[in-house]
Structure 1
Amino acid sequence: MEDQISEPEHWADAVQVFHDPDTDTRCIYRVPNKLRKVNEAAYTPQLISIGPFHHGKPELKDMETHKIIYCDNFFERSSKTTDELKHFIEGCQEQILRCYAGTISQVDNYFRDVILRDAGFIIELFLTNSENPENYYHILRSPWLRKAIEQDLILFENQLPYFILEDLYNFAKPKPKPNSYSPSRNKVQARGQANRRHRCIDLDQICYCLPCCRPNQPRDYAVEIIEATVHPFLKLTCEFFNYYGTKENSVRKGLDIRNFTDLVRHFLCPAEEMTWVGSRLTPIKNIYDARKLKAAGVNFRLLKEAGFVVKGHESHHCNFNSACFTSMDLKLTQFCVKDETECVIRNVMALEQFLYPECASICEYFLLMDKLVDTVEDVNLLIDSGVVVNNLGSNERVTNLINQLCEQIMDDVSCYGDLCDKLNKHYGISFWNRHVALLKRVYFKDLWTASSTILGIFVLVFSIFGTIKSLKS
């Protein structure tokens, strides 16, 4: 493979601007500079390049050898010859180009070879991942290396169109290796106990714990698969990325996946479609932070659903004065924060800005979360309610992360506009709740303050009674 593909000296100097009048086919974009400058490392591959945008970068050259080895293994198990595979990619080249927006690099047949090498590497990686752990090559045997590659494969700029991977898999008809096994008939399960023994490290140390993961859930990070209708390569894909999903995120026939970032978004999106009717033209309003809303009688509760969802409703009223004693429940799905969380969420949000601008569920969740969190006290409140799980360390880091996630993210429309109006209205009429909360915060914030307050009240009462008794006598 290495001698079959000759790399040009100036790959980045030879560029072609592909103008596509049908923008609906585009699914891979460069992240805009304003968004990239917020955290450039979150959008840039650190180990391996996939596709044309980052190909040829010197810092990513070391992984090319591994890609060649995996691609050669794919050629060996393929039922087609190398030339047949090249001709197949050539026939799809124009369709592939239509998936990339903007300026891309292309040098004669080298673009074809880059796509074939990257696609062959990915297919072989997924096939090897589903087979006997004893057949694992270096990448899958190293927990750190596998984790780094898995993260690079979901970066928005670092993608191949999903259709070419699936079509190439269909065309090549790769044969399984000896002593390999197929995924479960009902679901793609997490790697087995033999795999964990082989790695000699606990799964908690190597898996991606993304925001949709909950610490109290059993360690069964499986994605429900409908065996009779789902494409075999989609099963392999879900098995490789199974830490991003939960059982609630079923993969069914007809699921339109544009790339791997889009697949991760599918796992993070609500299981039920969000309601945008009536809120389509309403942006997220400025609302009070979590601490003030709590003082106004808003109860923050954990919503045990898949994906990122926020729901609110009035929980009860007092019959004699509903304006004073109304309380409201605001339910949010859990946001589990780890070191890798920012990278994953930023890339999914960038994808939504291009492909799903009118139904950006992930963006809307974090735009609302940004409104709720102003200080560390707000994060403390959300952690106490179970909505936020902090695995970063200090709560101040979580506060900064939430406040920075939505920089340069458009918030023109939102499905939570009506909810924000209700929260603001609730805060406005809940003057009794706010004053009671103020008294609690000032005079009953801890045991010693409460004891002093109660003692002072008793002293005041006895003094008043003593004064009245003296006046009467």
Structure 2
Amino acid sequence: MSLGSILSSSDSEERWVNRIGQYFEKEVTIHNVPISVFNVSKAIKAVKPEVYIPQVIAFGPYHHMQPELYQMEKYKLAAIKSSLRPEQILNFQELVIDKMKELEPVIRACYHKYLDHDGYALAWIVAVDGLFLLDILRGYGHVMYSQRRNLTRDAVLCRDVIVLENQIPVILLKEIRKNLQLNSMHDDDDLELFLMLRGFCQIHSPLKLARISNTSSYTSCLHLLDLMYFLIVNHQVTPTRPQEQVLGLEKTDGRTDAEQHQSEEDTNDLILNVGEIVEMGMHLGIGKKVLKPIKVIQEMPWEKISNLLGLKMGNEHDKDNHPIVEEITIPSVSHLSKFAGVKFIHTVGGIGDTKFVHEGATLYLPIITLNANSEVLLRNLVAYEVALSNSTGKLAQYVDFMCGIVDTAEDAQLLREKGIIKGDLNNQEIADLFNGMNRMSAKARNKTVDEINEYYNERPMVKGYTFIKKRIFASWRILTLSSTILLLLLFILNSFCEVYGCSQFFGSSS
């Protein structure tokens, strides 16, 4: 076998040749069976591969035969046998396996990756794993929401259920239920199944779900993750606004992440220092005496001065460096709050209701509940969206937006206080979750990003920082130190004036 082949042995090659030959001769055509279970690409898996693969139990052919997961096979079979009647167990081959074998072309059509299994092996895999999944979902059907909360205790099992590569197509679950007559006599088979699927989504979704009255919307879903994705992206109170087909990405200047982070911390200190210096100056009554020299300093030919001193200007970065895409360009929650006075309010809607209202400087965000499995679920939902050819990228846009505004535990705490973030994760875990997410909104960007950036960049304190960063970027550490010393001197002067009075020097203080 050649290195990297999709086939594992010469027997597999023979099966592949026979199968291709049979399909070619019989002109097998599968209608209305879309590919729905995608294998996650290496590019997406590169950042954190473990969140895209099952850890304990496999559902479906992608991971069924892996040694580290196969040890759960006895557990699956025991659970299945306990849910079946004796006559169903006795006639299982005839009732289920033979029927699933007849659907082999349909099964293969559902999966994106080539399946290196013969027909009967594939039938057994789908039957066993499908029945085990149905046994899990049965508890999410007609019981009340408060009772279903107890079903979240097995977090590891639920984690593996939501992995994209672990999905079992609904068309196969319906076939298993029909063959074993698992549906209630007084209920429609499809409706009962989709109530169970929606019940699972209701419990485990980090975002609020749409209320769909039309049952055809449920019955057209492809698998569990597809239904959750559909209910998340279609939950919206306000009408959808037009999207800008421009991806807002931040280009780096060749520095490492650590260097950029340190630069941001020091320049933020500089912003705070400048703001306090201005306030202290106004308190001392310096006022225009300070602002006039600042204006003179701003109008000085800094580019020529920097060239004479050998300083590197902010607009002279090496143009040969290839930009590295990291995240959307947007300030963090704490920066928006401190430097621009932005307020945060949770909305009862969904991700499509994220909006920034310029009047009142208010950012509306949907409520998100983050628990142990939330990162796995969000990553797999976005990976599924990326794989869909007709998706709008709404969920990836929202996730990227949250990754952009949540940088630290302080950001998470601010959103928690506003009721936007809920759940069991602590503030640092929330920050780590969003900082570790890879950016995947490659189709479009919500206009909210532009509106926030425009508002933020017009704030006086931010404009002052932008001027300093643009003119004398290389000397920000000196400026930070100088501003700190100046602020200290002003504090000393203020203390002196409070004791002895300085009105003869600066005029009356306020």
Distance in 2 (CA, whole Å) between partners of 1:58 and 1:164 is 25
Aligned partner (choices 425, 438, 442) of residue 411 of structure 1? 442
Following superposition of structure 1 onto structure 2, how do residues 30-179 of structure 1 map, counting pairs within 5 Å? 30-73=39-82, 75-76=84-85, 81-82=91-92, 83-127=94-138, 146-174=154-182
Aligned partner (choices 341, 347, 350) of residue 303 of structure 1? 347
Q: Which residue does the alignment assign to 1:319? A: none
Distance in 1 (CA, whole Å) between partners of 2:456 and 2:341 is 8
Distance in 2 (CA, whole Å) between partners of 1:422 and 1:33 is 34
Per the alignment, do residues 306 and 78 of structure 1 end up closer, same or farther by CA in structure 2, a change over 3 Å counting?
farther
What is the CA distance between 1:403 and its match in structure 2?
Answer: 1.9
Distance in 1 (CA, whole Å) between partners of 2:104 and 2:33 is 17
Say which SS state the counterpart of residue 369 (structure 2) adopts: strand
What is the CA distance between 1:150 and its match in structure 2?
Answer: 1.9
What is the CA distance between 1:353 and its match in structure 2?
Answer: 0.6
Looking at CA atoms only, which structure, 1 or 2, has the larger radius of gyration? Answer: 2
Aligned partner (choices 284, 291, 298) of residue 334 of structure 2? 291
Distance in 2 (CA, whole Å) between partners of 1:398 and 1:468 is 49
The answer to whether residue 216 in structure 2 is matched with residue 254 in structure 1 is yes
Question: Counterpart amino acid of 1:459?
Answer: C
Retained in 2: the 8 A contact 1:261–1:348?
yes
Question: Counterpart amino acid of 1:86?
Answer: I
Distance in 2 (CA, whole Å) between partners of 1:247 and 1:302 is 12
Per the alignment, do residues 460 and 298 of structure 1 end up closer, same or farther by CA in structure 2, a change over 3 Å counting?
same
The answer to whether residue 502 in structure 2 is matched with residue 464 in structure 1 is yes
Distance in 2 (CA, whole Å) between partners of 1:142 and 1:243 is 9
What is the CA distance between 1:456 and its match in structure 2?
Answer: 2.8
Per the alignment, do residues 386 and 454 of structure 1 end up closer, same or farther by CA in structure 2, a change over 3 Å counting?
farther
Distance in 2 (CA, whole Å) between partners of 1:423 and 1:250 is 30
Per the alignment, do residues 92 and 350 of structure 1 end up closer, same or farther by CA in structure 2, a change over 3 Å counting?
same
Distance in 1 (CA, whole Å) between partners of 2:346 and 2:463 is 23
TM-score (norm 2): 0.63
Question: Counterpart amino acid of 1:282?
Answer: V
Question: Counterpart amino acid of 1:254?
Answer: S
Q: Deviations over 1:295-333 (max 9, x none)?
A: 1232222223345741111234xxxxxxxxxxx211111
Q: Deviations over 1:377-430 (max 9, x none)?
A: 43343334333347333x3432232122124x242313x1x2222122212333
Question: Gapped runs of 5+ residues in structure 1?
Answer: 1-8, 133-139, 183-226, 317-327, 437-441, 443-448
Question: Counterpart amino acid of 1:174?
Answer: L
What is the CA distance between 1:279 and its match in structure 2?
Answer: 1.5
Distance in 1 (CA, whole Å) between partners of 2:434 and 2:498 is 46
Q: Deviations over 1:142-168 (max 9, x none)?
A: 975x33222211110011111111233
Query: More deviation in 234-243 or 453-462?
Result: 453-462
Aligned partner (choices 417, 422, 427) of residue 456 of structure 2? 427
Say which SS state the counterpart of residue 300 (structure 1) adopts: strand
Per the alignment, do residues 433 and 148 of structure 1 end up closer, same or farther by CA in structure 2, a change over 3 Å counting?
closer
What is the CA distance between 1:51 and its match in structure 2?
Answer: 0.8
Distance in 2 (CA, whole Å) between partners of 1:413 and 1:454 is 52
Distance in 2 (CA, whole Å) between partners of 1:390 and 1:398 is 10
Following superposition of structure 1 onto structure 2, how do residues 326-337 of structure 1 map, counting pairs within 5 Å? 328-337=361-370
Say which SS state the counterpart of residue 47 (structure 1) adopts: coil
Following superposition of structure 1 onto structure 2, how do residues 19-34 of structure 1 map, counting pairs within 5 Å? 25-34=34-43
Retained in 2: the 8 A contact 1:230–1:251?
no
What is the CA distance between 1:280 and its match in structure 2?
Answer: 5.0
Cα RMSD after superposing both structures: 4.3
Distance in 2 (CA, whole Å) between partners of 1:119 and 1:151 is 16
Retained in 1: the 8 A contact 2:208–2:235?
no
Retained in 2: the 8 A contact 1:308–1:334?
no
Question: Counterpart amino acid of 1:55?
Answer: H
Per the alignment, do residues 373 and 12 of structure 1 end up closer, same or farther by CA in structure 2, a change over 3 Å counting?
farther
Retained in 2: the 8 A contact 1:301–1:385?
yes
Distance in 2 (CA, whole Å) between partners of 1:39 and 1:231 is 37
What is the CA distance between 1:247 and its match in structure 2?
Answer: 7.9
Following superposition of structure 1 onto structure 2, how do residues 221-370 of structure 1 map, counting pairs within 5 Å? 231-244=191-204, 249-252=210-213, 253-255=215-217, 256-272=220-236, 278-284=242-248, 286-294=329-337, 295-306=339-350, 309-316=353-360, 328-355=361-388, 358-370=391-403
Distance in 2 (CA, whole Å) between partners of 1:302 and 1:12 is 58
Distance in 1 (CA, whole Å) between partners of 2:241 and 2:352 is 19
Per the alignment, do residues 238 and 428 of structure 1 end up closer, same or farther by CA in structure 2, a change over 3 Å counting?
closer
Query: More deviation in 94-103 or 242-251?
Result: 242-251
Distance in 1 (CA, whole Å) between partners of 2:433 and 2:190 is 37
Question: Counterpart amino acid of 1:150?
Answer: C
Retained in 1: the 8 A contact 2:104–2:119?
no
Say which SS state the counterpart of residue 502 (structure 2) adopts: helix
Retained in 2: the 8 A contact 1:79–1:174?
no
Distance in 2 (CA, whole Å) between partners of 1:159 and 1:149 is 13
Higher helix share: 2
What is the CA distance between 1:290 and its match in structure 2?
Answer: 2.7
Query: More deviation in 357-366 or 305-314?
Result: 305-314
Say which SS state the counterpart of residue 387 (structure 2) adopts: helix
Identity of aligned residues (%): 18
Say which SS state the counterpart of residue 85 (structure 2) adopts: helix
Distance in 2 (CA, whole Å) between partners of 1:74 and 1:388 is 39
Question: Counterpart amino acid of 1:381?
Answer: L
Number of aligned residues: 378
Distance in 2 (CA, whole Å) between partners of 1:468 and 1:100 is 78
Q: Point out which structure has higher relative CO (alpha carbons under 8 A, 6+ apart).
A: 2
